[in-house]
């Protein structure tokens, strides 16, 4: 299992490298965005651990460019930033997981193994559902050729639904995928944001793309409603 560690804190990067090596991983390290982008483009990795605050290209920029180049290697963002919007931005840009510093090394290993087991399924450059489209790189949403302005949370929710179009997803799955696995607030916040989305992507276009499946959750119609 080959892993790329990208962190400009050299002692921390070396600690992670040694620990992962002891766990049987083959590890390469980069300390800035430019070197990380080159390594991830020129070599094959099973996962990338990517810090956000980097010199010569931050983690968001590296991630955006990787996905633009259609490099789908699973990426775990490792950072001291732990705000909701920081996490949402990371997922919006194509991150697969997010871990904040300080962190448990055991948890890091477990999450890396989980990412590697899932593999790197190809993600279309533009997600489409009928005449509804979402461009993860430009973070642009359109319906019938008309751009729709969404908040970061609305965008994250729509992207989650579009990546699972045709499938019924529960509130719990949405909270874990869009908010945070450790979210302990009111789960009805999902209903609130579903309503927000419907007002923006369905109502103005006389569509019903987001379906409520009673007693189970929500489903985005494969035809766009």
The residues spanned by each domain of the chain are 2-118, 127-220
CATH, domain range 127-220: 1.10.10.10
Q: Which residue has the higher pLDDT, 184 or 154?
A: 154
pLDDT at 116: 87
Secondary structure class of 172 (helix, strand, coil): helix
- The phi and psi torsions of 98 (rounded to 5 degrees) equal -150, 130
pLDDT at 210 over 70: yes
| Global confidence as pTM | 0.57
pLDDT band at 152, cuts 50/70/90?
Answer: confident
Pairing of β 132-135 and β 2-6 = unpaired
Q: Which of 40, 32, 38 is nearest to 7 (CA)?
A: 32
pLDDT at 166 over 80: yes
Secondary structure class of 196 (helix, strand, coil): helix
Contact 79, 50 (CB under 8 A): no
Specify the CATH superfamily of domain 2-118: Response regulator (3.40.50.2300)
pLDDT at 119 over 80: no
> Could you report the per-residue pLDDT of 40-72, keeping only the tens digit for each?
999 989 999 999 889 998 988 998 888 878 788
Residue 144: how many other CB atoms lie within 10 Å = 13
């Amino acid at each position: 299992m080959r892993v790329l560690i990208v962190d400009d804190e050299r002692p921390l990067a070396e600690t992670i490298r040694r620990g992962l090596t002891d766990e049987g991983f083959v590890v390469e390290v980069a300390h800035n965005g430019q070197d990380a982008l080159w390594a991830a483009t020129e070599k094959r990795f099973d996962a990338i651990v990517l810090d956000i605050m980097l010199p010569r290209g931050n983690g968001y920029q590296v991630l955006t460019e990787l996905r633009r180049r259609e490099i789908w290697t699973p990426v775990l963002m490792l950072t001291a930033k732990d705000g909701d919007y920081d996490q949402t931005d990371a997922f919006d840009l194509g991150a697969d997981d997010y871990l904040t510093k300080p962190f448990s090394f055991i948890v890091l290993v477990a999450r890396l193994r989980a990412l590697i087991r899932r593999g790197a399924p190809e993600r279309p450059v533009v997600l489409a559902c009928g005449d509804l489209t979402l461009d993860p790189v430009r973070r642009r949403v359109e319906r019938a050729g008309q751009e729709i302005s969404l908040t970061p949370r609305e965008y994250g929710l729509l992207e989650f639904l579009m990546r699972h179009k045709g499938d019924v997803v529960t509130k719990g799955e949405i909270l874990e995928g869009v908010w945070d696995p450790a979210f302990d607030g009111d789960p009805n916040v999902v209903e609130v944001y579903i309503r927000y989305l419907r007002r923006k992507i369905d109502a103005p276009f006389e569509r019903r793309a987001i379906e409520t499946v009673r007693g189970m959750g929500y489903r985005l119609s494969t035809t766009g409603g």
